[in-house]
Amino acid sequence: MFDLAIIGGGPGGYVAAERAGAKGLKVVLFEKRELGGVCLNEGCIPTKTLLYSAKVYDYTKHADLYGVSVEGSSFDFGKIVARKEKVVKKLVGGVKAGVKAAKAEIVMGEAVIKGRGAEGIEITCGDKEYSARNLLICTGSEAAVPPFPGLKEAGDVIVTNREILALKEQPKELVIIGGGVIGMEFASFFNSIGTKVTVVEMLPKILGPLDDEISQMLQGIYAKRGVEFCLKCKVTAIEGNTVVYEDPEGKVCRVSGDKILVSVGRRANLKGFGLENIGVELALNPAGRPYGIKVDDHMRTNIPGVYAAGDVTGFSMLAHTASREGEVAINNIAGQEDRMRYNAIPGVVYTNPEVAGVGITEAEAKAKGLDVEVVKLPMAYSGRFVAENEKGEGLCKVIVGKKYKEVLGVHMLGNPCSEMIHAACIAIEQEMTVAQLKEVVFPHPTVSEIFKETIFTVK
Ligand code: NAI
């Protein structure tokens, strides 16, 4: 009998296993593919590894701007991919070691929930049976691929985030359906290494939930580098290696590539592991379709002892959300009350330059009728940014409540904002005010000082 069974070894499940083990719980963790889940194997880590190779290559292309001559720089696609595989393997090994160190039992196989017995929740995996007092479901998500007419016939021309990472050869032309996070990160990588990239996006902007101004700046940067954007364009069909779409005037247009990446969102994995056998309630969208497991802020489902965390809740599909949700579940299972909060979850897009944001955007504040002040500064106000970014564009925007001057949102464009945004996360999580932040000493010279400089422009 285990205290806790966890299904799914991604950043929701493996972090939960480590935390639970550290609290002395007897844990079994089931994983049917690879430990680390989508994040480590076909998401965050492999893409960031590829993007770093692209960044190094980009530096060599523009080294002259820094007074350095690099002649004839080139790259080897096979070697870039091989390095990505090496990094993934190393980190998957690290996760395994971490879970084992927490004394959790790892079972590689497909777990199925059988129901609730006298002893607890019963699970089978292969021909073995397990029972546990508590269950944490972290089965994640997979790429949502709409049934475009002609999609099946297109065969392996169509790729998702999974297959594109396994390509052996660089595509000469890539069409990306969906200008969201996955679309833009791959657009960035392939644009850097010379693939002709076209992004077909249904909305009037790329990276929908992002600050409007930053989204436009980023689009402008990539348009200058040769990425073609077809906005307000709805894909209607696939014809072999051609994407058919309607432009904003309703005209039927076509664009071809040797690969077509479908990155139009992800779907929670709710089927195939016996969820129905214990009657777990699903959350429904306004159209009445299930999009995830319904949980409360303790990450509890409607069934006592059954919790869910990560993409399977269909709510905030980010690795760092999953890990925190897993921690919340474990704390509650161990008897320490903890609540999940979503107001200070950062979002980062690892393009070059990077984008990072946390809290509300200007558009959200307006839509909610909040009384806010919006202040902003170009990144060039930071000496370190100027020293390290020839012709670099960037922006820091801060949204504060007018009455209490509390920080409500921070949005940045410019490197290395992925490594700076946590300061804003702390400010929002701790409900810090402008006056409190002004007293914090930031190291000089760092790009992070831009946050403090921007805070000083609040009236
Ligand atoms: P997304 O939701 O970010 O973007 C999908 C885009 O596709 C949207 O802009 C949408 O308007 C567009 N779209 C939908 N249907 C379309 C159609 N028929 N024609 C043209 N455009 C269409 O989803 P994405 O990029 O697939 O990412 C999935 C999840 O993975 C997200 O939740 C994201 O947060 C997460 N992720 C996070 C990363 C990060 O934190 N850096 C990196 C990669 C993924």
Q: What is the reported pLDDT for 119?
A: 83
Could you give the CA distance from residue 140 to residue 293 in angstroms, rounded to a whole number? 11
Q: How far is the CA of 433 from the centre of ligand 1 (A)?
A: 33
pLDDT above 70 coverage of the chain, percent: 100
Among 39, 181, 189, say which to mutate for ligand 1: greatest number of ligand atoms within 8 Å of CB. Answer: 181
Q: How far is the CA of 184 from the centre of ligand 1 (A)?
A: 9
**How far apart are the two ends of the chain, measured CA to CA in Å?**
60
- The chain-wide mean pLDDT, for the chain, equals 97
Could you give the CA distance from residue 340 to residue 296 in angstroms, rounded to a whole number? 9
Which residue's C-alpha comes closest to atom 3 of ligand 1? 180
Could you give the CA distance from residue 51 to residue 59 in angstroms, rounded to a whole number? 12
Ligand 1 atom closest to the Cα of residue 148 is 18
Could you give the CA distance from residue 209 to residue 361 in angstroms, rounded to a whole number? 8
Residue with tokens 């897993």: 326
Q: What is the reported pLDDT for 288?
A: 97
Could you give the CA distance from residue 200 to residue 241 in angstroms, rounded to a whole number? 14
Model confidence pLDDT, tens digit, residues 328-369: 999 999 999 999 999 999 999 999 999 999 999 999 999 999
Confirm whether 444 is a catalytic residue: yes
Model confidence pLDDT, tens digit, residues 293-335: 999 999 999 999 999 999 999 999 999 999 999 999 999 999 9
Helix (H/G/I), strand (E/B), else coil: 397: strand
Ligand 1 pocket at CB < 6 A: 146, 177-183, 185, 200-203, 208, 234-235, 263-266, 317-318, 348-350
CB 174 within 8 A of CB 199: no
What integer is the mean pLDDT of 11-24?
Answer: 98
Count of alpha carbons within 13 angstroms of residue 72, beta-carbon side = 0
Which pairing describes strands 141-143 and 158-159: parallel, antiparallel, or unpaired?
A: unpaired
* Token output for 451: 């946050």
Which residue's C-alpha comes closest to atom 23 of ligand 1? 265
CB 355 within 8 A of CB 348: yes
Q: What is the reported pLDDT for 118?
A: 85
Q: How far is the CA of 407 from the centre of ligand 1 (A)?
A: 27
Predicted confidence band of residue 250 (pLDDT cuts 50, 70, 90) = very high
Q: How far is the CA of 415 from the centre of ligand 1 (A)?
A: 22
Contacts of 194 (CB under 8 A, 6+ apart): 170
Could you give the CA distance from residue 205 to residue 186 in angstroms, rounded to a whole number? 17
Predicted confidence band of residue 16 (pLDDT cuts 50, 70, 90) = very high
Model confidence pLDDT, tens digit, residues 107-165: 999 999 999 988 899 999 999 999 999 999 999 999 999 999 999 999 999 999 999 99
Residue with tokens 């190393």: 90
Q: What is the reported pLDDT for 281?
A: 97
